[in-house]
Homo-oligomer: A and B are copies of this chain.
Amino acid sequence: MKIHEYQAKELLRKYNVPTPRGEVAETPEQVREIAERFGGVVAVKAQVHIGGRGKAGGIKVAKNPEEAEEKARQILGMDIKGFTVNKVLVEEGIDIKEEYYLGVIVDREAGRNAVMVSSAGGMDIEEVAAETPEKIAKAWAYPGRGLLPFQINRLIFDAGINPAVRKEAAQFLRALFDCYLGVDATLAEINPLVVTGDGKVIAADAKIDIDDNAMFRHPDLEAYRDEEGAENPLDAEARRRGINYVHLGGEVGIIGNGAGLVMATLDEVKRAGGNAANFLDIGGGAQADLVANSLDLVLSDPNVKGVVFNIFGGITRGDEVAKGILEGVGRLDVKVPIVVRLTGTNEEEGRAILRGSQVIPAETMQEAAREIVRRSRE
């Protein structure tokens, strides 16, 4: 789950990670009021679930409350790569002396949490990683033991952090890592990590991704979920219904069981000359109701000109899927072609259920893909 910068900073503060004083606002007037209370220079920062806000004009500095209100008026409602800005974070200006990059991620290959620190702060870290990897100091936390003091020490020396703030930087790193583990994050990025003129180490920006699988441990974080700014309302709707859906924007709706199989179906549709409207995985052991609901969701996309089902029964039973398809088709007045490829557990029963309906059967996934692409063009 992606969370906003202001939410990430709320979490950081809970773990004693220093952040600038800041408040979130939804109107230019609120922004002015906050800026008045803060006094002096403030930054007004768009809160959207996408990178590159700065370059897109989503972050502006204001010298006084009037200017803050004016900047907020420019930013609020703005479109950044398809995301609408509904909220801004108003932060006290900080006296930036040095900028560093700090990132913690789950390193799949190592099977451990990796911590990266670089003096190339504020820059595009992927570019730094590609071009001057020696500028990134790395350490891998030992599972169960966490990030050990000597590792923190080494990161600071290797990244060339100003020795004058070594103690503060070590405290920051420890607290950040505690936060990362504490909230079950899969990513925590502080870019830039700022050393201020008076020797404070502070998180100027913050990005935290929470592990969706761990949300059962963090019911309080559910409130951080914000689908409003998502790219497509269908993604939000899918989330509400508990359906594993990704909007892709093409004209062929795709439903299947198992992520790999659905992705392969996407590939086959593409090879057949079509464009996937979405990715939808009903998972293992789906019941008729979920299938009907999924069809409903896919069909609510006005671009969709046809839907293909690709089901390989294992735990998922063919008859359940067939029932769900008919239920969905019955509920809605379906005008577009629906091609169904059904095999595996209870495939016979499933096909029998679908016989005589408007649903078009297919033998293989390749055939199904060709068929739906052809028919959705008609």
* Cβ contacts A138-171/B at 8 Å (1 or 0 each): 0000101100000000000000000000000000
In the complex, the chain B residue whose C-beta lies closest to that of A145 is B144
- A-to-B contact residues, CB < 8 Å: 142, 144-145
Q: CA–CA, A144 to B142, complex, Å?
A: 9
Q: CA–CA, A142 to B143, complex, Å?
A: 12
CB distance from A140 to the nearest CB of B (A): 15
A145 proximity list for chain B (CB < 8 A): 144
A142 proximity list for chain B (CB < 8 A): 144
Query: How many copies of this chain sit in the oligomeric assembly?
Result: 2
A144 proximity list for chain B (CB < 8 A): 142, 144-145
Q: CA–CA, A145 to B145, complex, Å?
A: 7
In the complex, the chain B residue whose C-beta lies closest to that of A146 is B144
Q: List 3 A-B contacts (CB under 8 A).
A: A142-B144, A144-B144, A144-B145
Q: CA–CA, A270 to B144, complex, Å?
A: 50
Q: CA–CA, A318 to B145, complex, Å?
A: 45
Q: CA–CA, A320 to B176, complex, Å?
A: 50
Q: CA–CA, A144 to B145, complex, Å?
A: 5
CB distance from A208 to the nearest CB of B (A): 25
CB distance from A363 to the nearest CB of B (A): 48
Q: CA–CA, A280 to B51, complex, Å?
A: 68
Q: Which 3 pairs show the lowest CB-CB distances between chains A and B?
A: A144-B145, A144-B144, A142-B144
In the complex, the chain B residue whose C-beta lies closest to that of A142 is B144
Q: CA–CA, A142 to B142, complex, Å?
A: 13
CB distance from A174 to the nearest CB of B (A): 16
CB distance from A113 to the nearest CB of B (A): 14
Q: CA–CA, A145 to B144, complex, Å?
A: 5
CB distance from A163 to the nearest CB of B (A): 26
CB distance from A143 to the nearest CB of B (A): 8
